[in-house]
Amino acid sequence: MNISVLIVAIITLIAFVAHVFGGTRETAAIAPKEDDRLVVSWVQAMCAFQMLAVDLLALALLLFAIVFWDLGPGESMILQLASALYFLWGIVWVVQVLWLKRPSATLLRLPHWMIWLLCSGLLFFGS
């Protein structure tokens, strides 16, 4: 059993649950009232937000499959690609937070990037 991949699978599953329940609740709380342009933008943001939930679930299931079943010689490549995906998530997160420059939304208050970079390293190590 690949412990580092199991850790990432569990973290990803937790992220999925937090994303679907906590994130949806928080995003629903900021729904605009009457401005049609804002409502369209908010609905688009909600849809994009939930698309990531699908990615998180699919990735968690793939990682659990790798942990519990032998997926053959392609397993190492899958883990390296997943590592690259987590790495890109972390980098994009950092870039967005720095680019948006909001005083209350700092890299320390939004530490998701640390989790994604940790997961990237664990998967790379586990591959």
CB 112 within 8 Å of CB 14: no
pLDDT > 90: what percent of the chain?
61
pLDDT of residue 24: 86
pTM score of the predicted model? 0.87
Per-residue pLDDT tens digits for 36-89? 788 888 888 888 888 889 999 999 999 999 999 988 888 999 999 999 999 999
CA-wise closest residue to 65 among 52, 51, 78: 78
Both tokens of residue 108? Answer: 């320390």
Buried b / exposed e over 25-61, threshold 16 CB at 10 Å, is: eeeeeeeeeeeeeeeeebeeeeeeeeeebeebbebbe
pLDDT of residue 124: 96
CB 41 within 8 Å of CB 1: no
